[in-house]
Amino acid sequence: MRKKFVSCLLAVSVMGTMLLTGCASNETGSAPDETKAEEQPESQEAEQSEEQVEQQEDSGFTYEGEDVTLNFMFITGGENEFYNETLPEMVNEQFPGITIEVEELPSDNFKSTVQMKFASGEGPDIFEWWPNKQAEPLVEAGYCLELSDLKCIGDFREDMTGAFSFDGKNYAVPLGSSFLTTWYNKSLFEEAGITEVPMNWEEFLACCDALKEKGITPIVMGDKDAYVIQFGTYMMGASCIYNDNPDFDSQLYTGETKFTDDGWRETVEKYQYLYDNGYVMEDTLGLSHDQARQAFIDGRAAMTFDGSFGWEALMANGAAEFERGIFMLPSNENGEELVYNLTPAEGIFAGANEGREEAIKAVLNYWFTEGTPLFEAWAASNDNIPVHKSLSDEREMIQEYMQRYDGLSTIYNLNNAWPSGVSDELTSKFQEVIAGDANAEDVINAMQLKFEQVK
């Protein structure tokens, strides 16, 4: 598996590791016989010394409680192998008394399943979840274990850990940051004579027209999975809404703004325009997210709206060989500033399940403390942009993307500021728009009604 992250700390003394983990190191073996040591080659002595250091470092992570099986739930995505195989294996190697039981669900089913499990008193022990307003109901219900005392929390950027903090208490370890983006096929763009990525709405439509003139399908989406509708609409809304009013979301709660205001109306109307004018592949309600990604890597469409989190799937080999690129879907008019998406990714939460706290925290400390084998395996497999202070992102395409929009305003995933249920109204009602059974006005009215019910 490719290694995308670099640890800034190349070497650490045993004492440094003990300070980092906050645990005393226990010798796991007796000192070697001095006579035998004199007879051993220097290279062998060096190997033994390195092994002893590793043993001393790992011995700082212990669990002395009763044998326990911890349930871990995660959203189907790019880290499947790490979550399904590496995590359970490495945890059990370090803590023989802890077994990780993995449960993987697609995004559409994940949220409701986790909520029902907690409501029935059988919530997961460790689970992925979203930041800010999306996490607030679980925290307020007492379902989440406070993690402020984890030694590793301080090693993550404060602006990211803050997205998982409520009333000054931390409830999750941030997995990274990410952005919604438009993945595009550079070969098809060149075939259509497109030499620059679009920076406003007019330029984007010109790209779509140029592709259509060459007989190339501009965009493919997997709208059968309703959640993907968020990808395009949130990118559209970034400029349509927050360019004029960065405080739109906070003002929703005071009644100063509404989803029925002009910004959201423009957002949905522009997104609908792409479907009404044949820029999006036909019959997308019959395509899943995975099928749309496959169509893109097979060269059947020039673009797809997705995210940096789709790296592994969208960089995979398909039926066509081509160079990929990414750009922010621009909804700003010519002369207006583009606002782009950059948001905290999901975090790893823990359930407040009595009798399991010690085991849960042992796992999380081992997982997210730099220098452990589990940390290194996670860092190598994580498709998110790293927010651990010792890690950096080596992907040239990501670096180029961030440099292109450097200095422009950013906005989080829009539903991070909404109570649960509003985004579901957006996506389900827009599916009706695609089917020809609703319009933009229906979408924003449904969103506002749901917001008033659940705020």
Q: Which candidate, 314, 320, 331, 146, places its Cα nearest to that of 238?
A: 331
HSE-CB of 288 using CA atoms within 13 angstroms: 6
Q: Average pLDDT across each block of 10 residues of the chain; the chain has 455 residues. List them in order.
A: 36 32 34 35 44 49 96 83 96 98 90 95 97 95 97 95 97 97 98 98 98 98 97 98 96 98 98 98 97 98 97 96 98 97 96 96 98 97 94 96 96 95 97 98 98 95
Instruction: Kindly state whether residues 85 and 172 are assigned to the same domain.
Output: yes
Q: Which candidate, 382, 105, 107, places its Cα nearest to that of 230?
A: 107
* 34 located within any domain: no
Distances (CA, A) of 165 to 161, 162, 194, 264, 368: 7, 5, 44, 29, 18
Q: Per the structure block, which two tokens stand in for 391?
A: 């890690």
Instruction: Kindly state whether residues 161 and 300 are assigned to the same domain.
Output: no
pLDDT at 50: 47
Contact criterion met (CB below 8 Å) for 150 and 363 = no
* 285 located within any domain: yes
Instruction: Kindly state whether residues 358 and 441 are assigned to the same domain.
Output: no
Instruction: Kindly state whether residues 313 and 253 are assigned to the same domain.
Output: yes
Instruction: Kindly state whether residues 440 and 309 are assigned to the same domain.
Output: yes
> Which residue matches tokens 């075939």?
191
Query: Strand, helix or coil at 167?
Result: coil
**Which domain-ending residue is among 357, 378, 393?**
393
- CB count within 10 Å of CB 421 equals 15
* 444 located within any domain: yes
* 307 located within any domain: yes
Q: Crossing angle for the helix pair 262-276 and 440-454, nearest 10 degrees?
A: 140
Q: Rounded to an integer, what distance in angstroms lies between the CA atom of residue 132 and that of residue 344?
A: 9
Instruction: Kindly state whether residues 430 and 321 are assigned to the same domain.
Output: yes
HSE-CB of 343 using CA atoms within 13 angstroms: 26
pLDDT at 78: 58
Q: Rounded to an integer, what distance in angstroms lies between the CA atom of residue 274 and that of residue 268?
A: 10
Instruction: Kindly state whether residues 283 and 325 are assigned to the same domain.
Output: yes
pLDDT at 48: 43
pLDDT at 45: 43
Point out which residues pair with 75 in neighbouring strands. Answer: 105
For residue 216, give the amino acid letter: I
* Number of separate domains in the chain: 2
Instruction: Kindly state whether residues 86 and 220 are assigned to the same domain.
Output: no
* 12 located within any domain: no
Instruction: Kindly state whether residues 299 and 370 are assigned to the same domain.
Output: no
Q: Tell me, what CATH number does 163's domain have?
A: 3.40.190.10
Instruction: Kindly state whether residues 217 and 334 are assigned to the same domain.
Output: yes
* 383 located within any domain: yes
| Structural domain that includes position 442 | 180-341+418-454
Q: Which candidate, 75, 72, 79, 139, places its Cα nearest to that of 110?
A: 75
Q: Per the structure block, which two tokens stand in for 400?
A: 């180029």
Contacts of 145 by beta carbon, 8 Å cutoff, 6+ apart: 171, 349, 350, 351, 352, 353, 357, 360
Instruction: Kindly state whether residues 331 and 350 are assigned to the same domain.
Output: no
Instruction: Kindly state whether residues 318 and 357 are assigned to the same domain.
Output: no
Q: What is the pTM of this model?
A: 0.81
pLDDT at 107: 80
SS3 readout for 365-417: HHHHCCCCHHHHHHHHHCCCECCECCEEECCHHHHHHHHHCCCCCEECCHHHH
Q: What is the DSSP string of 83-138?
A: IIIIHHHHHHHH-TTEEEEEEEE-HHHHHHHHHHHHHTT---SEEEE--GGGTHHH
* 291 located within any domain: yes
pLDDT at 55: 42
Q: Rounded to an integer, what distance in angstroms lies between the CA atom of residue 307 and that of residue 443?
A: 23
Contact criterion met (CB below 8 Å) for 263 and 241 = yes
* 48 located within any domain: no
Contact criterion met (CB below 8 Å) for 101 and 327 = no
